[in-house]
Amino acid sequence: MAGNTFGKVFRITTWGESHGRALGVVIDGCPPRIPLSEADIQADLEQRRPGKAGAVATTRRKEPDVVEILSGVFAGKTTGTPISLIIFNRDVDTSAYEPIKDLFRPGHGDYTYLKKYGIRDNRGGGRASGRETVGRVAAGAVARKLLEREGIRVIAYTLELGGVRVKKIDLAAAEENSLFCPDPEAALRMEERIKEVRAQGDSLGGIVEIVAKGCPVGLGEPVFDKLDGDLARAMMSIGAVKGVEIGSGFEAARRPGSQNNDPILPHGFASNNAGGILAGISNGDDIVVRVAVKPIPSIARPQQTVNINMEPREITVGGRHDISAIPRIVPVCAAMMRLTLADHLLRQRAISFHG
């Protein structure tokens, strides 16, 4: 049973490969009568594109991702029927992959895809490419429209990049620099670090923090579809993510209970070590998730690998590559949080039938 569908009630199915004709997503379960236009979605797609400063970390490839709504919207509103979104690939150039098409790139899915399916689209990452996330972001924009009606807002930003950690969280600042960094000074040092590493032909990882504000109490379905469980899966399903934590996360493992419990006061929780989730259910506080992003595996340095006959080879991955999955991954993380919350918002409605 294949796994290209996410969500149970607000449910998306993505499709498409990095160098195929198009990528897209079908959203089934979006409530009717929500105003929706291509411009709403386009705005979120733009965030995945490298901006001025973004060029520091990301490639200069032109990727004019233009979304088209093919179904499910009538007279500017959703109709309750499936919403099909498509983004055609343009200027597809597979020449950079030609010399290495029989080699397994370390850190990539080349080896596992070929072993699993017995066949692999070797024009770039194929389905395993980060480009696959364009469908997630497009669908996430529709989820955003749904959440906004409930006063729920999701923000994502760079907490750490290449070892440089932010020292303050200024959300307005995060929207102004191309690294989605909420600390302008840290942003400058991150850019320095990127330049250094680029010169070395290497790459960098980092940490992204995603916060949902305004989420009502009661989202999450114990015991297996807990909100934190579903968020962990949502984030870990993004290509470069190797770790997820909620609230105090790994730090909680080192604290005594007296310091990790959040006292409850008449007007809310005195602290938020829980990260907004108790027993798998949102508690009304900010939902706080952090994800560890590994360094981009495509590096300009030579690496040891094998070819499809398992013979030893050296590989140097040419072509245009980002130095870090950050900042591009930041809007993807936000989209996955939105998709998860939209799904649980609708799930809770079904269950609270006699509420």
Q: What is the DSSP letter of 225?
A: B
**For residues 45 and 296, which CB has a smaller minimum distance to a second copy in the complex?**
296
Residue linked to tokens 């604290």: 255
Q: Which is nearer to a second copy, 177 or 305 (CB)?
A: 305
47 and 335 Cβ atoms separated by less than 8 Å: no
Distances (CA, A) of 230 to 92, 97, 162: 34, 35, 28
Q: Which is nearer to a second copy, 172 or 199 (CB)?
A: 199
**Encoded tokens for 348:** 């809770």
Q: In angstroms, what is the minimal distance from the CB of 135 to a second copy?
A: 9
Give just the sign of the alpha carbon dihedral 269, 275, 278, 283.
Answer: positive
Our CB check for a second copy shows the closer of 176 and 349 to be 349
CB of 268 to a second copy, least distance (A): 10
Cβ burial of 286 (10 Å; 0-12, 13-18, 19+) is middle
In whole angstroms, give the CA distance from residue 191 to residue 93. Answer: 29
Considering the complex, state which of residue 60 and residue 355 has its C-beta at the smaller distance from a second copy.
355
CB nearer a second copy, residue 84 or residue 153: 84
Crossing angle of helices 329-351/38-47, nearest 10°?
130
Q: How far is the CB of 92 from a second copy (least distance, A)?
A: 13
In three-state secondary structure terms, 312 is: strand
Q: For a second copy, which is the closer residue by CB, 17 or 191? A: 17
- Smallest distance, Å, CB 89 to a second copy? 10
Smallest separation, CB 288 to a second copy (Å): 11
Distance of CA 15 to the CA centre of its chain: 16
Q: Give the closest residue to 135 by CA, choosing from 242, 4, 243.
A: 4
3-state DSSP assignment of residue 332: helix
Q: How far is the CB of 292 from a second copy (least distance, A)?
A: 4
Whole-number minimum distance, CB 188 to a second copy, in Å?
19
Alpha carbons 17 and 15: distance in angstroms, whole number: 7
